[in-house]
Structure 1
Amino acid sequence: MCANGIDKPSLQDIATICLDKFKSLPKTGKPTLNQWTVLAGIVEYNRKTDSLKVVAIGCGTKCIGSSKLCPNGYLLNDSHAEVLARRAFLRYLYRELKQEGIFQWDSKQKRYKIDDHLEFHFLSTQTPCGDACILAESDGEKPAKRKRLDEEASEMVYTGAKLIRDPESDVASDDMQQTPGALRTKPGRGERTLSMSCSDKLARWNVLGAQGALIDSLITKPIYFRSLNFCCSDAHREPLERAIFRRFEDKSFQHTRFQPQKPQIRIDNSCELSFEHAQRLDLQPSPNGLAWSLLPEELRPYDISVNGTRQGVTKKKMNTSQAASAVSKYSLFKSYQDLLCSNPKVSDIRSQNVLALEHISYLASKNLAVEYQLAWEQLKSCYFLQWTNKPKDLLNFTIRNV
């Protein structure tokens, strides 16, 4: 794994700039006085100019059940802050690719190359759900018993994320068993979700990059987070490192393009960098998801969603593209297709589409990123054997027929 020695920017620099950016956003959609949420941010650092800027912010705690998943890509299945921040980051990357801002065209590789001086850092105001929340005996502290939500506790060492049952096992398993290193789906009451925990998603991005399959087909190398920063009282280094990379260190994964990373994990457990809307037992979780991207105001960089749908959509338009959040699969797929249509440099990718772009499906476009998909299949067999699979009919939408 690649060891990254990092001095700049500091956790305090990253947290301060993200919290300040959140405060500067409009009040619409933010938690009320009796609500809490989680904030995640992605910061771009330029080593040459020693400059720092926030490029994506996400806030949210909700996730929809498997029966509510949308076949047209409108709904956000997962509105946890970490996921919304990453999706807002994708909006930023599409804009930069279109404008050739932080990307330059590499004529030899026929892909875009990101500025060598840039690196990206991730921040969260809460420990990611899933494995990162579980203290094991080997972490030097005795694991806490499962706590009730109404119990007073200054420290939470328990995850509500649910274990994925082994389909080949006849033994009934406890979904809430606090097994270190196991894959889990998002927590929640009622119907189980198909969305993997944030710990598992961060671990995936740590190998395949945060750019996803569509953007990966356009760029020369994956985009990794150089550091993961947590300003919250419940964060512990050992389970965070285990969740992100250590639980896979004894398993073999070799690839020329995608390499398991070993990002610096930094924690601030003090109250100095605390988030004003952090979780408290006397508050209710905010129902809203917020996503902000570093984009011009005319592109509406600030997106608010409720139950996975863009806020303010009437019932009449609920099943139309107008219901789609700016960071939904549908909207991001549209950004991808717009880029292919407007940029002659990526004609080799366009030429792989036998059908006209408006007829090709989201799934088919993702599958054109052959190297990424082969690496993901290999990674699942090595690391993520129990990663959930969403029905393919939820990924077969096109921009024209939705």
Structure 2
Amino acid sequence: MADADEIARLCYARLEALPRRGRPEAGREWTLLAAVLQLRRCAASVKTEVVSLGTGTKCIGQTHMSPNGDVLNDSHAEVIARRGCIRYLLQQLHGAVSGDDSSVFCPSEEQGKWRLQPGVSFLFFTSHTPCGDASIIPMTDSPSQPCPPVASVKSRQGTEAGGDLKRKSEDPSEGPHTKLARVDKQETAETRTEDRGDTKTSFPSNSCKSEGQAQSHATETPEETVPDIHRTGAKCVPGGAADPLQPGTGYHSTGVLRVKPGRGEPTLSLSCTDKLSRWAVLGFQGALLSHYLQEALYFSTVVVGKCPYSKEAMHRALVTRCSHVTDLPAGFSVSPPGLLQSSLEFRFSQAQTELQHQATQGRVSPCGAAISWCNVTEQPIDVTANGYKHGVTKKVVGTAKSRSLLCKLELFHSFLSLVSATEPSARPGSLRRTELQTYWDYKQASSSYQQAWQQLHSQAFPLWPRSDRNLLLFH
């Protein structure tokens, strides 16, 4: 079993070794961190290294999504880390098919397919409980919750508790030459509430909010005290159960799919809890890499940093919801990760940022930038904001200069480069069709992955929104 504190140390140290560009301003800005680690077991030892790391808290609204695949829709740390890992795996496969060395893959029995080398596995780390269902947890006085819950609060007229401060999206700034990555330091209270994805809430002076989540409060009456929970700003997907919005533990429905809150408009990004749950059945490699892999790739363990945490809620959100899925094609299985928590807190967490905050710094706010680092030879660092490269101006939007290396278009081009580097006779059978042209075509041609997704969709997630085909027809 992995050492949770050692995993956290490796991830925090990896961020500290990177250039400062895109990092939060100490004492004023906070962010979340996630990472993918590769484990290699040799005899009695285990070598553990970070192969992808991401920070970020935002996602774009649905009206800003691009049919060209050149905008990064979801910049939550968990998504950034996973997409950076895809870059790493693409490079490893490129080396394998070219006859060079690969530290990850070896040939499988099936022609054109590859599998993990013996002893190689992957682990996922996140500095905070992922947004969505896993964040709906009871408030306790446990050491894993660094901000003690408020025992009772008299009801306040005109306010309501709740909201997940962890996630938000940001609209691109206006003006033809305005930097898209700008983050205004002065914002109105109304904008602040929308940006954080929570409802307006008043807090007593001696209370604090846990990283990424507003503390909701128990309602005390002379007769009883209603137990309370941490709330998530992620909204139930349309067509299913809605949140009852009752006091205390009756505020949320649990076990349901949720979309991340946007800033003034809805998003189409499913919560990180839902995505982790999906990866536990379909693998984290995605449809394109599935062409080359004999078996899907699963995270053996998910480690969470010090924060409000409930193993029961994590198990409900990441394991129970998909445990009954059956009839998956060869190479796919229900593979729930082990669950661990570290005692080490991220220094850029919201709670730590508030402790370091000085009155002269203005309000504490989420960092507008997202950092990606992955273990590749060319351009390992990618810093973005608002779905584009950090600091670009509007006049270059639509060109390669504005694109994140993690956007769909860039990853698709990297995949096509892998296909070109593979001898035609050594390509998987699914890639020998001549009619494959668009991103959509290549995804749909990954038939085993699509069969697995259909089983997961019909048996566990029937309300999961399907991507608009018109957003996937780029070349």
TM-score by length of 1: 0.87
Closer, same or farther in 2 for the Cα pair 1:180/1:108, shift >3 Å? closer
Structure-1 residue corresponding to 2:347: 276
**Matched position secondary structure for 2:326:** coil
**C-alpha displacement of 1:15:** 0.8
Structure-2 residue corresponding to 1:4: none
**Matched position secondary structure for 1:215:** helix
The amino acid of 1:125's aligned partner reads: S
**Deviation readout 1:163-206 (Å, 9 max, x if unpaired):** 11217x9x998799511101100123310100100000000001
The amino acid of 2:162's aligned partner reads: R
1:308 is aligned to 2:387:
yes
1:158 is aligned to 2:231:
yes
Closer, same or farther in 2 for the Cα pair 1:149/1:231, shift >3 Å? farther
Closer, same or farther in 2 for the Cα pair 1:290/1:342, shift >3 Å? same
**Matched position secondary structure for 1:330:** helix
**Deviation readout 1:295-352 (Å, 9 max, x if unpaired):** 12xx110000010101233322201233211111011101100000111122644421
* Percent of residue pairs identical: 34
The structure with more radius of gyration: 2
Structure-1 residue corresponding to 2:51: 55
Which stretch has the larger CA shift, 105-114 or 228-237? 105-114
1:385 is aligned to 2:381:
no
Structure-2 residue corresponding to 1:264: 338
**Deviation readout 1:273-309 (Å, 9 max, x if unpaired):** 211111135520011111110112xx11000001010
Structure-2 residue corresponding to 1:240: 314
Summarize the alignment of residues 12-51 of structure 1 with structure 2, pairs less than 5 Å apart.
12-33=5-26, 34-48=28-42, 49-51=45-47
Unaligned runs of 5+ in 1: 1-6
Closer, same or farther in 2 for the Cα pair 1:149/1:199, shift >3 Å? farther
The amino acid of 1:19's aligned partner reads: Y
Structure-1 residue corresponding to 2:406: 327
Structure-2 residue corresponding to 1:191: 265
**Deviation readout 1:213-268 (Å, 9 max, x if unpaired):** 0001111111100000001221111111111011333x442324321123110013
**Matched position secondary structure for 1:47:** strand
Closer, same or farther in 2 for the Cα pair 1:174/1:185, shift >3 Å? farther
Q: Does structure 2 retain, via aligned residues, the 8 Å contact 1:136–1:239?
A: no
The amino acid of 1:368's aligned partner reads: A
Q: Does structure 2 retain, via aligned residues, the 8 Å contact 1:11–1:266?
A: yes
Structure 2 distance, partners of 1:313, 1:190, is 23
Q: Does structure 1 retain, via aligned residues, the 8 Å contact 2:107–2:114?
A: yes
**Deviation readout 1:351-387 (Å, 9 max, x if unpaired):** 21325xxxx1101100110010111012111111111
Structure-2 residue corresponding to 1:108: 110
The amino acid of 2:471's aligned partner reads: L
Structure 2 distance, partners of 1:382, 1:347, is 29
The amino acid of 1:46's aligned partner reads: R
Structure 2 distance, partners of 1:231, 1:309, is 28
Closer, same or farther in 2 for the Cα pair 1:150/1:267, shift >3 Å? farther
Which stretch has the larger CA shift, 89-98 or 158-167? 158-167
1:317 to 372, 396, 404: 396
Structure-2 residue corresponding to 1:3: none
Summarize the alignment of residues 73-88 of structure 1 with structure 2, pairs less than 5 Å apart.
73-88=69-84
TM-align CA RMSD = 2.5
The amino acid of 1:45's aligned partner reads: L
Structure-1 residue corresponding to 2:448: 371
Question: Aligned residue pairs: how many?
Answer: 376
1:295 is aligned to 2:366:
no
The amino acid of 1:343's aligned partner reads: T
**Matched position secondary structure for 1:232:** coil
Which stretch has the larger CA shift, 211-220 or 144-153? 144-153
**Matched position secondary structure for 1:219:** coil
Structure-1 residue corresponding to 2:226: none
**Matched position secondary structure for 2:451:** helix
Structure-1 residue corresponding to 2:119: 117
Closer, same or farther in 2 for the Cα pair 1:129/1:57, shift >3 Å? same
**Matched position secondary structure for 1:45:** strand
Q: Does structure 1 retain, via aligned residues, the 8 Å contact 2:137–2:309?
A: no
Q: Does structure 1 retain, via aligned residues, the 8 Å contact 2:325–2:456?
A: no
Structure-2 residue corresponding to 1:220: 294
**Deviation readout 1:76-124 (Å, 9 max, x if unpaired):** 1100000000000000000100112111223534201111211111111
Structure-1 residue corresponding to 2:62: 66
Closer, same or farther in 2 for the Cα pair 1:86/1:342, shift >3 Å? same
Q: Does structure 1 retain, via aligned residues, the 8 Å contact 2:24–2:348?
A: yes
TM-score by length of 2: 0.74
